[in-house]
Amino acid sequence: MSTDVNVKMEALAGVDPDALPLQVKDLHVEFRTRNGIAHAVNGVSFDLRAGETRAILGESGCGKSVTAQAIMGILDTPPGFITGGEILYRGVDLLKLPESERRKVRANRVAMIFQDALSALNPVFTVGFQLAELFRKHRGMSRQDAKARAVELLDLVKIPAAKQRVNDYPHQFSGGMRQRVMIAMALALDPEVLIADEPTTALDVTVQAQIMALLAELQRERNMGLVLITHDMGVVADVADRISVMYAGRVIEEAGVNDIYANPAHPYTKGLLESIPRLDLKGHELSAIKGLPPMLTNIPPGCAFNPRCGYAQDVCRQDPAPPLYQVSPSRTAACHFWKEVKGDE
Ligand code: SF4
């Protein structure tokens, strides 16, 4: 395979806009620690279409952020190692590219927004300088043109008085405004895929809604694919097209958002849904999923969810883990008893 990713990308530039810009296939990531090997990602697969929002949902420690880091090529190695699988950007396996080519993809095609904007931005430079640097470095723009583009971007993410604020430092912005700056930086080079890792977790509820609305608007305008990493089913309901629910490093249910909310096919998904408040179910008692997710150095045999599962039977405690059963042509669930869970039997 040619390592010149730009040549390949240009050759592929005319593909059907509905093409899949991102495909993750059977991804495996492990962390080699003093306490043993933590199996953080165990065969994760998903596709992302142009203009689609794919939510990756699960409790902390389920492997969703590690999946994002692996896609971006920013995994801490060691201790983290990608031990198998493919990450295809427009058909090019990013895992086979040299770091110099990978960096070009990261800068131009696949961008990421982090949870903590304050630590992701450099405190000693103004936000305008940091934005302008992207245009100078990757687009060869003059200082003046790059600064003008920085102002345009701050305008785009609806930062009031962008012309003045471009000269401010990150600490001079509120949490919500800083997250807008992060979005501006991520979108600066017109990526085709945006990965947002818990982009609103550190913000209060009203600001969360504003940021998600902004992301959705920008995504629509640009027909960009969005991978939204979150533990919050409330956030997912409003914006996602498809959901991959993760547990102990595996995708345990994959479906369109309406199917999941109407009728989950995995007990874990069902438990997550029952633990969120719903206006349409007044007087409905909220329930939490009992127990804790397993240590990734010590995943139980069989179905990793079995110690917490009210549907578990003997077969669930024995290897192999349940495969992803085809629940319908467009959804899968890794549960031996998905029919009972879904209420089909
Ligand atoms: Fe529960 Fe068994 Fe289904 Fe796992 S396979 S989710 S333990 S019923």
d(CA 300, CA 337): 18
Rg (alpha carbons) of the chain, rounded to whole number: 21
Question: For residue 176, is it within any domain?
Answer: no
Question: For residue 148, is it within any domain?
Answer: no
280 or 182, which is more confident? Answer: 182
Q: Which tens digits make up the pLDDT trace of 203-242?
A: 777 788 888 888 888 888 889 999 999 988 878 888 899 9
If one residue of 268, 336, 341, 345 were mutated to test the ligand 1 pocket, choosing by the most ligand atoms within 8 A of its CB, it would be 336
Q: What is the residue range of 245's domain?
A: 241-278+287-345
Mean pLDDT across the stretch 284-293? 80
Question: For residue 303, is it within any domain?
Answer: yes
pLDDT at residue number 244: 97
Question: For residue 76, is it within any domain?
Answer: no
pLDDT at residue number 108: 83
pLDDT at residue number 39: 95
Q: Among 45-59, 224-238, 329-343, which is the least confidently predicted range?
A: 224-238
User: Are 27 and 85 in contact, with CB atoms under 8 Å apart?
Assistant: yes
Q: Per the structure, how many domains does the chain have?
A: 1
Work out which ligand 1 atom sits closest to the CA atom of 322.
5
Q: Which tens digits make up the pLDDT trace of 120-146?
A: 889 999 999 999 999 999 899 999 999
Work out which ligand 1 atom sits closest to the CA atom of 336.
5
What is the pTM assigned to this prediction?
A: 0.88
What's the pLDDT band for 2 if we cut at 50, 70, 90? very low
d(CA 180, CA 200): 11
User: Is the model's pLDDT at 7 over the cut of 50?
Assistant: no
Measured in Å, residue 251 CA sits from the centre of ligand 1 at 14
Q: What is the mean pLDDT of the chain?
A: 88
Which residues line the pocket of ligand 1, CB cutoff 6 A?
Answer: 266-267, 303, 305-306, 309, 311-312, 316, 322, 335-337
Q: Which tens digits make up the pLDDT trace of 151-179?
A: 999 988 889 999 999 999 999 998 888 88
Mean pLDDT across the stretch 78-97? 94
Cβ burial 53-63 (10 Å sphere, 16+ → b, else e): bbbbbbeebbb
Question: For residue 139, is it within any domain?
Answer: no
pLDDT at residue number 42: 96
The sign of the torsion formed by the CA atoms of 237, 238, 244, 246 equals: negative
pLDDT at residue number 279: 60
pLDDT at residue number 198: 86
Measured in Å, residue 239 CA sits from the centre of ligand 1 at 28
